[in-house]
């Protein structure tokens, strides 16, 4: 499968490339602050970045959705990841993101997650999308609430009981912010 690219006002969500390994490790995996958004809740050794990127690409091949590299349009810098993935060992779809701390202002996490949610509902027609958070991650709680996701019960996933948020496809209302998809069979500019 060819992974689409999504352009928003300030971001580009694009497929991960093998050459992203160092930037991805620095921005997310080995960054002690950003790594708190990962299910492990701790940094991952940077040398694992290539295999993690390969796993992300395999996930796209298997499920037709996955994580994107989040690129800051102005600087061209990889600042995190965002997208949809299988929720643990379940068949449910999870919205997730991790953005470098110096880029969480200005609504960038909200912009990235909104684009991923829109892709899931409008392009893939997923019936329900969930998000889970570590209890101490109040920033993610605010992002998912601002998206219009509803708090749900704790779910047992990633060897933990975690608070969840969810949204049904029929409850999603896209805003008027810039959003353009390129690539794959999803070419449908809609700015």
**pLDDT for the residue 38:** 81
Indicate which CATH number applies to the domain containing 85: 3.40.630.30
Q: Give domain status of residue 180, yes or no.
A: no
Query: H/E element holding 164?
Result: strand 160-168
Pairwise CA distance, residues 150 & 167, whole Å = 6
109 in a domain, yes or no?
A: yes
Closest CA to 83 of 108, 62, 60, 58: 60
Q: pLDDT (tens digit, 0 to 9) for every residue of the chain, 191 residues total?
A: 689 999 999 999 999 999 999 999 999 999 988 887 787 778 899 999 999 999 999 999 999 999 999 999 999 999 999 999 999 888 999 999 999 989 987 899 999 999 999 999 999 999 999 999 988 888 899 999 999 999 999 999 888 899 999 999 999 998 889 999 998 654 433 33
Inter-CA distances, 140 with 117, 164, 184, Å? 14, 11, 30
Q: Number of folded domains in the chain?
A: 1
The predicted model scores a pTM of 0.92
């Amino acid at each position: 499968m060819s992974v689409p690219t999504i352009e928003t006002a300030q971001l580009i969500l694009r497929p991960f490339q093998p050459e992203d390994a160092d930037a991805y490790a620095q921005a997310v995996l080995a960054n002690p602050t950003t790594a708190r958004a990962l299910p492990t809740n701790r940094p991952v050794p940077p040398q694992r970045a290539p295999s993690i990127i390969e796993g992300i690409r395999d996930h796209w091949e298997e499920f037709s959705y996955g994580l994107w590299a989040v690129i800051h349009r102005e600087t061209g810098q990889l600042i995190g990841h965002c997208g949809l993935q299988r929720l643990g060992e379940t068949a449910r779809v999870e919205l997730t993101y991790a953005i470098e701390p110096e880029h969480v202002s200005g609504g960038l996490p909200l912009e990235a997650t909104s684009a991923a949610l829109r892709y899931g509902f409008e392009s893939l027609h997923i019936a329900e999308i969930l998000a889970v958070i570590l209890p101490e991650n109040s920033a993610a709680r605010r992002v998912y609430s601002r998206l219009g996701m509803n708090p749900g019960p704790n779910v047992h996933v990633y060897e933990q009981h975690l608070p969840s948020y969810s949204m049904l496809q029929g409850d999603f209302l896209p805003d008027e912010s810039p959003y353009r998809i390129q690539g794959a069979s999803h070419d449908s500019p809609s700015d």
